[in-house]
Amino acid sequence: MAGAGATRSAQRLRGCMNRCAAAAGETGMIRLAAACLIWFALALAAIAEASLANLEQLQAEWDATARRVETVLGQGWVSTARLEELRNELARQRDEASKLNAAAIAIARPLRDRLDALGPAPADGAIEAPEIARLREELTRQIAQAEVPVKATETALRRAEDLIARIDKKARERFRDELLRLNPSPLSPSAIVRAAEDFATRIDSIVADAVTGVQRGDSRRLPALLLALAGIVILVAVRRRIIAWIENRLAQGLAEEAGRARFAAFFGALALSVSWLVIPGAGMALILLALETSGAAFGSAAPVIDDIGWLALCLVGAVWLAETLFGGNPVMQRHFALRPKAERVARRMTLLLGLVAGLDLLVMRGAMSGWLTLRTLSVLNLALLVIGGIALHRLGTALLRVPEPEPATVTGEEGEEEQAEPDPRIVLGRAIRRVAVGVMHLAAIAAPILAAIGFYALSRQIFYPVLFTTALLGVGIVIVALVSEAVNAATEGRPGRLQLLPVLAGFVLAIVSLPPLALVWGARESDLAETWRMLVEGVSIGEARISPADFLVFLIIFSIGYALTRLIKSLLRVTVLPQTRLDPGGQKAVVSIVGYVGIVVAALVAISAAGLNLSNLAIVAGALSVGIGFGLQTVVSNFVAGLILLIERPIKEGDWIKVGEIEGTVRRISVRSTVIQTFDRAVVTVPNADFMTSSVLNRTHSSNMGRVVIRVGVAYGSDTREVARILQEVAGECSLLLRRPAPKAVFTGFGADSLDFAVYCYLRDVNTTLDASSDIHHRIAERFAAEGIEIPFAQRDVHLRNVAELGEALRGSTGRSTRRG
């Protein structure tokens, strides 16, 4: 049926193509366009029919899987492994349905666009051209046919998502029930005795099988013995000599000059860290290889020998972490210092915790292999949690034993030393350390108690995730410390942008650690896969969907646009604008406008490249208009005023202006505000809207020329014309004034105490106003003194009333003073 349908579609397609060719010569461009649109629609129809045939088969498979999952979920109990298997199958089918849905929508969307291009259907009684009517009818039919796979895939997609949600809910409920399940207490004497007997029996059987395996392989004993001896020599002698040599070289390097000491610190710390990982790892690998070679992996000993590798891995990791962090490395102590005794305790407890973690892995894999019963497993779990709890508690206590730094001092205003505020980084580090140690103490106490009561799963879920998280934090500290030493060596201790690399390394480590931490704390692999799927597919904003890939494209395109904008600004500022007649202020305004336009264009291009429909921004703008009208009105007005200032340029950088009570020099004009430096060296930030709503005095807008008025008074009786001549001569002698227009002395009037004159002087540079005014005042004083012209000052006569009464009062006061004497 599907093949016949595709054949009919192909026949219709060929016939339509022939009609297209004939239409070009018969009826002109309208019929040609209509025929071509019909040909395109039929081509899509042929593709849709072929896909629909395949979709019917897929839909049958999806339906069968969904019914099977529903049947399983309706049963009373099903294993977790079976649930995960069904979920993975549903997830695969969901992805298939999602891809087919996207393809079906892509086929149907052009048809809808072409139908929309024809406009709305004519109202009742209206006449439409026959070609348009046929085209509308054909497109409507094709759209209806194209919608079939769209709806079918959407239905399958929703059904799969619903079943996945039900499986996830069931798995979470099962995990919760497992945590809260109360088992018999492993502290009962009968349980301990039976577990000990069972464990001893299992160990005897494993040892017997291992001995039998070794005895059977006589020819392999010598190679196995040599491998074991080589591993022991590496772990004991070779390790000690190599580590001692590296530590000696590190101490010598740190004693050298500053530049070499930095490189010695980095390479020494790196060599020590790698040595503590590689040398014990090589020794353990040889010992494990010796066990495999000897033939000990025989019978019931085979799974145990295979699982010993996990124990060795935990021990090697614990040795590396303990020796790197707490081994007395002077470089590492700069970043993670403890008191000497606490450092030794932390080192021993880290090794003990590594042993506990390795034994737990060995016990758990033994339980899965079947050589340990659940009863024995419960008792061994309690024993390991007690030992591990003590070690974890002591480790946390040791981590709090931090050497107190010497208090920093600063010199106060009166010259005396005062204690400085503590470094915020140290305060934050202490707070984080206290929180982490508190969690460690809580887990160390709660886990053994819960295991003793009988909460087997809950005790493990509390202790081992905390232990694993602590180990990851230690790894992160080591890596960040090594990156810090590398940056310090590369930059020679100078501050710069590279100093942010340790922070970036810590952030990357935190991101990379999230998946394993999530798994340890109870998340399933399917949860991580679902989270990754949501991140990849992104979130919907209106009709657009934004994903991390789209965001990355946006960042790349915007960064390129921003870099090009910076380059264009530099070219304009250095090569183009200096060749024009624009003044420096105009050049800066042009560069600023080009920068803003470039950033806006880069943002629009990046948004378009990321797949965000710009028409949707109108909805966002409409939603923000209310907020702009109320809360952002001042910001928007300042922004618009800043653009006007940059375009009209009523003020520019370097101008001497006065706006309101503020007077000074313009230092910077941005789109939001203008920075003015007053003459007392204070910096004032003025919103740009103030320049639009108030008067602005600009003393240096078109040029630096200015005027200063010198006012002076002379005593009554002076020759006014002679005074005016002298003032004009004195002003003409000042080199800071213009010759044209020349200074002019004016007799302004008769004052209460003097004859008032004013000298109007025009300055070459208004910035020399104070110098010119001071110089002219000095010259006037000297010339008036030489010419005998008096500069009056105010004099006052005091008239006393009731003089007789005041005299009597004074005589009486004098007489009383005489009698007392």
DSSP letters, 364-413, are: HHHHHHTSS-HHHHHHHHHHHHHHHHHHHHHHHHHHT-PPPPPPPEEE-T
Distance of CA 132 to the CA centre of its chain: 55
Q: Which of 325, 373, 364, 440 is nearest to 202 (CA)?
A: 373
Q: What is the spatial distance between Cα 349 and Cα 346, in angstroms, rounded to a whole number?
A: 5
Residue 742 sits in a domain whose CATH number is 3.30.70.100
- Let me know if residue 416 belongs to a domain: no
* 470 shares a domain with 338: yes
Q: What is the spatial distance between Cα 156 and Cα 98, in angstroms, rounded to a whole number?
A: 9
- Let me know if residue 22 belongs to a domain: yes
User: Strand (E) positions, 59-144?
Assistant: none
* Alpha helices (H) along 610-672: 617-630, 633-648
* 608 shares a domain with 505: no
**Which helix (H) or strand (E) element contains residue 678?**
strand 673-678
In the chain, % of residues over pLDDT 90: 23
Residue, of 262 and 629, whose pLDDT is higher: 262
Segment 7-29 shows an average pLDDT of 44
DSSP letters, 184-234, are: PPTTSHHHHHHHHHHHHHHHHHHHHHHHHHHHH-GGGHHHHHHHHHHHHHI
Q: Which of 384, 266, 268, 277 is nearest to 321 (CA)?
A: 277
* 644 shares a domain with 614: yes
Of 678, 698, 718, the one marking the end of a domain is: 698
* pLDDT band for position 780 (cuts 50, 70, 90): very high
* pLDDT band for position 598 (cuts 50, 70, 90): very high
Instruction: Convert the pLDDT of each residue in 290-312 to its tens digit.
Output: 888 888 877 778 888 888 888 99
Residue 50 near residue 6, CB atoms below 8 Å? yes
Segment 607-635 shows an average pLDDT of 65
Of 657, 673, 698, the one marking the end of a domain is: 698
The reported pLDDT for the residue numbered 676 is: 92
Instruction: Convert the pLDDT of each residue in 200-232 to its tens digit.
Output: 888 888 888 888 888 876 667 788 888 889 988
* 331 shares a domain with 209: yes
| Structure tokens given for 154 | 């959407």
Segment 51-68 shows an average pLDDT of 78
The reported pLDDT for the residue numbered 30 is: 44
* 128 shares a domain with 30: yes
Q: What is the spatial distance between Cα 538 and Cα 264, in angstroms, rounded to a whole number?
A: 47
Residue 349 near residue 326, CB atoms below 8 Å? no
* 765 shares a domain with 651: no
Residue in this structure with the two tokens 């109007």, named with its chain if needed:
760
- Let me know if residue 411 belongs to a domain: no
Of 637, 672, 698, the one marking the end of a domain is: 698
- Let me know if residue 536 belongs to a domain: no
Q: What is the spatial distance between Cα 292 and Cα 288, in angstroms, rounded to a whole number?
A: 6
* 298 shares a domain with 272: yes
Stretch among 242-246, 661-665, 799-803 having the lowest mean pLDDT: 799-803
Residue-range definition of the domain harbouring residue 291: 190-404+425-531
* 661 shares a domain with 624: yes
- Let me know if residue 343 belongs to a domain: yes
DSSP letters, 411-460, are: E-TTS-EEEPPPPHHHHHHHHHHHHHHHHHHHHHHHHHHHHHHT-HHHHH
> Average pLDDT of the chain?
81
**Which helix (H) or strand (E) element contains residue 757?**
strand 755-763
The reported pLDDT for the residue numbered 578 is: 86
Is the bond preceding residue 741 a cis peptide, omega within 30 degrees?
A: yes
The reported pLDDT for the residue numbered 464 is: 94
Q: At what angle do helices 548-571 and 584-609 cross, to 10 degrees?
A: 160
Q: What is the spatial distance between Cα 322 and Cα 251, in angstroms, rounded to a whole number?
A: 20
Total structural domains in the chain? 4
Instruction: Convert the pLDDT of each residue in 154-204 to its tens digit.
Output: 888 899 989 998 888 888 888 898 899 998 889 888 888 888 888 888 888
Instruction: Convert the pLDDT of each residue in 370-410 to its tens digit.
Output: 767 778 888 999 999 999 999 999 999 999 888 766 655 55
Instruction: Convert the pLDDT of each residue in 486-535 to its tens digit.
Output: 887 777 656 666 777 888 888 888 899 999 999 999 888 888 888 888 77
* 596 shares a domain with 451: no
| Structure tokens given for 433 | 């350390």
pLDDT of 448 > 90? The answer is yes
* 569 shares a domain with 487: no
SS (H, E, C) 111-123: HHHHHHHCCCCCC
Instruction: Convert the pLDDT of each residue in 468-492 to its tens digit.
Output: 999 999 999 999 888 888 887 777 6
Q: Is the pTM of this model over 0.75?
A: no
Highest mean pLDDT of the ranges 12-16, 517-521, 813-817: 517-521
Instruction: Convert the pLDDT of each residue in 118-132 to its tens digit.
Output: 878 777 767 777 888
Q: What is the spatial distance between Cα 55 and Cα 48, in angstroms, rounded to a whole number?
A: 10
Residue, of 136 and 443, whose pLDDT is higher: 443
Stretch among 209-223, 417-431, 447-461, 728-742 having the lowest mean pLDDT: 417-431
Instruction: Convert the pLDDT of each residue in 665-719 to its tens digit.
Output: 998 888 778 999 998 889 999 988 888 888 888 888 878 888 899 999 999 989 9
Highest mean pLDDT of the ranges 10-14, 202-206, 233-237, 709-713: 709-713
Q: What is the spatial distance between Cα 337 and Cα 341, in angstroms, rounded to a whole number?
A: 12
* 374 shares a domain with 232: yes
The reported pLDDT for the residue numbered 579 is: 85
- Let me know if residue 276 belongs to a domain: yes
Burial of 707 from C-beta contacts in 10 A (0-12 / 13-18 / 19+): middle
pLDDT of 22 > 50? The answer is no
* 502 shares a domain with 559: no
- Let me know if residue 419 belongs to a domain: no
Stretch among 60-64, 596-600, 801-805 having the lowest mean pLDDT: 801-805
For residue 326, CA distances in Å to 152, 209, 354, 396, 657 come to: 63, 41, 14, 13, 64
Residue in this structure with the two tokens 């349980």, named with its chain if needed:
191
- Let me know if residue 299 belongs to a domain: yes
